[in-house]
Chain A
Amino acid sequence: MNAKHKRTLYRILISSALFVAAYILEARLDLPGWQQFLLFMPAYLLIGWSVLKEAAVNISHGQVFDENFLMALATIGALCIGEYPEAVAVMLFYQVGELFQSYAVNRSRQSITQLMDIRPDFANIEQDGQLVQVDPETVAIGDIVIVKPGERVPLDGTVMEGTSSLNTAALTGESLPRNVQEGEQVLSGCVNLTGVLHVRADKLFGESTASRILDLVENASDKKARTENFITRFARYYTPFVVIGALLLAVIPPLVTGGNWSEWINRALIFLVISCPCALVISIPLSFFGGIGGASKKGVLVKGGNYLEALAEAQIVVFDKTGTLTEGSFSVVAVHPEQVDEKQLLEYAALAESFSNHPISLSLKKAYGQPIDNARITDASELSGRGVQALVDGKKVLEGNGKLMDENGIKWHECDQVGTISHVAVDGEYMGHIVIADTVKPNAAQTIRQLKQMGIERTVMLTGDSTEVGQAVAKQLGLDEAYCQLMPQDKVEHVEKLLGERTGKGKLAFVGDGINDAPVLARADIGIAMGALGSDAAIEAADIVLMDDKLSGIATAIQIAKKTLRIAKQNIVFALGIKAIFLIMGAFGIATMWEAVFADVGVSVIAILNAMRSMKHSQKSSVLP
């Protein structure tokens, strides 16, 4: 609670006491009207003077439909028709409501801001043998920064000394710590957990990851969602509309029916007190802000409320294959031995390939997983475009494609699996083959299923890879469509074609690694870049950035987006609904003025609390949206 809040609170308390005293006195004594007026005046002026003053100032500036003016008009109206306690009560409730609202909004804003705060406060630098804490902004490239356990890495850099594990949760949402050692890169914003690290700064503070992320998220609330803009525009018309309604209600019925003027004025005043659109104007941006904050906690950076809104309406999700759906690196996916066992076959292959640095050789050595005794291998040679040949334990091992087998007169056969097939022959005899392929990411199929459950109508894959490989991956993951053998410019064309196939409000999201698909990211309604941690180009190009390379982040992002939009819509319906009900009840003389104020304030506070839910994302609720 800040000083302003405290001042208001004291005023409310004292004014309430004066009000209660006046109320009791009035009930005991049967006073004439003007004495009653005097009795309630101290409480009214104490609580209302700031409103009256602001109303006067605003009118002098030509701002008529301002909530201060409306409250002033409503309460003065009440005083004029002799409803003194009503006037004080309305002013009191209004002030209590404003206080509540302001306090709740401030608290909410602070907690969301804290959620996103990964700003490192200081950097430790060694000066004359002493450790000094300095502002990270003053650290120059090449300086050595010392990061102790429990501290945040202040700048992006390279570890020069020490080993430790880092908590990257603030950046990626990943709770598993990452181990780092000498020569490895560390990113600012990570928290050092175990050992002391000496880090050489590679980037200035302003260009380091933490600053860039903060910048991005802070700017996100500048880009407003359609719903937000709608509410702002709506608010501009709502107030004048209700005030004119009040005027008509006060004048027409008494003129037509010749009824009681003060009764109808009283009803009109109810219109005035609920004419402020505050609940809506505050809770909608707060919902989006909360959603963006909650997403950033999960390693999903959203560059604006508009993108969050678009993502909630996603209809088509287009994926790039390599690096997005698949790991983008080769590995052994199957071993089909003949005559020998799997291990033996892998051993022959790995040993024969041991001198090669070809990606296929590397994946074989990785699958073999044991140190290679170079003494067992002699006469190794690479046969370009075919494979390798070597003597392993004195046996002649041939390892490569079908062409190599044919040339050496070895009988071999095709494999039914898709990928690069590496055949192995020992001393002229066929021993089987090993299938090497780019592996799909572990949770890719599950994510595609989740997307389907969440109502994504089409999942599409675009790839430059061969039709055979592309179709196999698409089938394995359960994608609806796959377009293969595309050049980068073809991808843009395909996305444009798909954009034409959207229906209704449906949006198209493109998911890529952000490295060579910037034009496609820009063309899609929502460009999502994956595994962007440390990749400036991807962060620049995309609308939504997944900090790590886990596909499940997309499902998380869509869930958060849908939840945020749901909350925003709930708030609109709820706030407008309550206002409509009280407008009707007021017009028919069922509701009293202070009940209307109470309802109005209640709506604001409940809408703010509801908006705060968008910040929290639990995995439990993530199974179904």
Chain B
Amino acid sequence: MKKTYKLKDLDCANCAAKMQNAIAKLDGVQDVNVNFMGQRMTIELVDARADEIMRQVVETVKRIEPDCVVVI
């Protein structure tokens, strides 16, 4: 499943790169692209555990940039 989410208040390009690296390492994430310029994230997940993985993704984003919100 491939989905795109808006990232609100993604303020720092370096954080975007860090998020991408961290999210890519999560189990069940097949592909992820954090786009700082477009303020969004395209992510490809294993369908079966999509909800659970997304929770982890949101947590990861929050941890790296506390101000940034994944708009679901």
Q: Which A residues have a C-beta under 8 Å from some C-beta of B?
A: 2, 4, 54, 57, 61, 63, 67, 102, 105-106, 109, 112, 218, 221-222, 232, 235, 276-278, 281-282, 285-286, 289
Which B residues are in CB contact (< 8 Å) with A277?
A: 14
For residue A60, which residue of chain B has the nearest CB? B63
Known: A4-B67, A61-B63. A222 touches B13 (CB 8 A): no
Q: Which B residues have a C-beta under 8 Å from some C-beta of A?
A: 9, 11-14, 17-18, 33, 35-39, 42, 63-64, 66-67
Query: Majority SS of interface residues in chain A?
Result: helix
- In contact, A286 and B37 (Cβ under 8 angstroms): yes
- In contact, B14 and A102 (Cβ under 8 angstroms): no
Q: A61-B63, A63-B18, A285-B13 are in contact. List 13 more A-B contacts (CB 8 A).
A: A2-B9, A4-B9, A57-B63, A102-B12, A109-B37, A222-B38, A232-B17, A235-B14, A276-B14, A282-B13, A285-B36, A286-B37, A289-B37
- In contact, A281 and B13 (Cβ under 8 angstroms): yes
Q: Closest Cβ of chain A: how far from B7's Cβ, in Å?
A: 12
- In contact, A218 and B13 (Cβ under 8 angstroms): no
Q: List 27 A-B contacts (CB under 8 A).
A: A2-B9, A4-B9, A4-B11, A4-B67, A61-B63, A63-B18, A102-B11, A105-B13, A106-B11, A109-B39, A112-B37, A221-B35, A221-B36, A222-B35, A222-B42, A277-B14, A278-B14, A281-B13, A281-B14, A281-B17, A282-B12, A282-B14, A285-B13, A285-B36, A285-B37, A286-B37, A289-B37
Considering the chains assembled together, what is the distance between the CA atoms of A493 and B47 in angstroms?
41
Which A residues are in CB contact (< 8 Å) with B39?
A: 109
Q: Top 3 nearest A-B pairs by Cβ distance?
A: A221-B37, A289-B37, A282-B13
Considering the chains assembled together, what is the distance between the CA atoms of A4 and B65 in angstroms?
13
Considering the chains assembled together, what is the distance between the CA atoms of A221 and B14 in angstroms?
16
Which A residues are in CB contact (< 8 Å) with B33?
A: 222
Known: A4-B67, A61-B63. A278 touches B12 (CB 8 A): yes
Which B residues are in CB contact (< 8 Å) with A281?
A: 13-14, 17
Which B residues are in CB contact (< 8 Å) with A222?
A: 33, 35, 38, 42
Known: A235-B14, A278-B13, A282-B13. A218 touches B38 (CB 8 A): yes
Interface centre among A102, A222, A289 (most CB of B within 10 A): A222
Considering the chains assembled together, what is the distance between the CA atoms of A192 and B55 in angstroms?
46
Considering the chains assembled together, what is the distance between the CA atoms of A474 and B9 in angstroms?
54
For residue B22, which residue of chain A has the nearest CB? A63
Considering the chains assembled together, what is the distance between the CA atoms of A183 and B12 in angstroms?
50
Considering the chains assembled together, what is the distance between the CA atoms of A298 and B33 in angstroms?
28
Which A residues are in CB contact (< 8 Å) with B18?
A: 63
Known: A4-B67, A61-B63. A221 touches B38 (CB 8 A): yes
Which A residues are in CB contact (< 8 Å) with B67?
A: 4
